[in-house]
Amino acid sequence: MIKKFQNISHEYDLWQKGSKIVLGISGGPDSVCLLDIFFQLQKKYKMDFIMAHINYGLRGKDSDQDEKLVRKLAEQYDLKLFILNPKCKSKSENALREIRYRFFEKIRKNNDFDLIAVAHNADDQVETFLMRLIRGSGLAGLSAMRFKNDSIIRPLLGFQRNEILAYLHKNKLDYRIDRTNLKPVFFRNRVRNELLPLLEKFNPSIRKTLTNSLISIAEDNCYISEIVKKMYNKKISAKNFLDLHPSIQKRLILLKTAGKNQMPKDIESVHINEIIKTLKSKKSKIQTVIFKGVRLTRKGDLFNIESDHSLNI
């Protein structure tokens, strides 16, 4: 597995000899596997690591036990550890993800490190795709997570969950299991424990099939994203905006709402349609639309979309 880890990392240019990497460690099987493999490669590639953990406190004593294990791992691997205990106003997946990546990026910058490694695996990829497909996501939402996205790397994306568990058991590594993963009240759990087994009855290789489809979707999405990124800092009038292809319009709105840190918000199609409706309006007065920490202001043919974390979400 370590050999495969190296091959994937070199194929996607995830890290270099001498890289300094922040490891996002939850205490779950994926992150413990990530930590141990990197530790096995540390001397060979002369890499430096620090660990980062977030205790959201959403699972009571179980969350504290996760933190306890992570502290133990930091001592065991002799790595510096940073822990965040945020006060979560929202429990949505997007809100927690934004807290997580903001913290990781802060640690990376403050310590002058190069990269942030997170432990998503191939099964996470497939589950997320199905969740978003059911909810009605567009091309961007259905695209695969990338092995490397700026400073964020995902070396385990090429591994399925059973490979990771086999590695942990072979090397007798301790890890924590989130017991809420078995509860059908959570959407992801129902996709994992009910929908995927059902789909496997129709296609035993459904995970691999969907993974291949995700790669194709990601390539198309990447092409459109590059077009939109070139337009991000340009001043566009409402008229010129409305002349764009609808696909480009929606993608540009999503990019604008993400803000400078480029962390996507939980924006729904109804919000995008409201923005486009405002830009089509013939009213001459100043118009303002506020939702989910985003503000749209239009005056005549000029408009501005900004992400403002001081706004109520």
Q: What is the mean pLDDT of residues 283-310?
A: 78
Burial of 257 from C-beta contacts in 10 A (0-12 / 13-18 / 19+): buried
Q: Which fold has domain 232-307?
A: 3.30.465
Question: Does the pLDDT of residue 219 top 70, yes or no?
Answer: yes
pLDDT digits (tens, 9 = 90+) for 89-141: 777 777 888 899 999 999 999 999 999 999 999 999 999 899 988 887 778 77
Q: Is the pLDDT of residue 207 over 80?
A: yes
Per-residue pLDDT tens digits for 131-189 = 988 887 778 778 878 899 899 999 999 999 999 999 999 999 999 987 776 666 678 88
* pLDDT tens-digit series, residues 27-61: 999 999 999 999 999 999 999 999 999 999 888 89
2-200 has which fold? Answer: Rossmann fold (3.40.50)
Residues with Cβ within 8 Å of residue 225, at least 6 apart in sequence: 140, 251
Question: In the prediction, which pLDDT does 184 show?
Answer: 65
Q: What is the DSSP letter of 24?
A: E
Structure tokens at 106: 């802060």
Q: What is the helix (H) or strand (E) element at residue 49, kind and residue range?
A: strand 48-54
Kindly list the domain boundaries of the chain, sorted by start residue. 2-200, 232-307
Between vectors from CA 211 to CA 206 and to CA 212, what angle results, nearest 5°? 100
| Percent of the chain predicted with pLDDT > 70 | 93
> pTM of the predicted model, to two decimals?
0.77
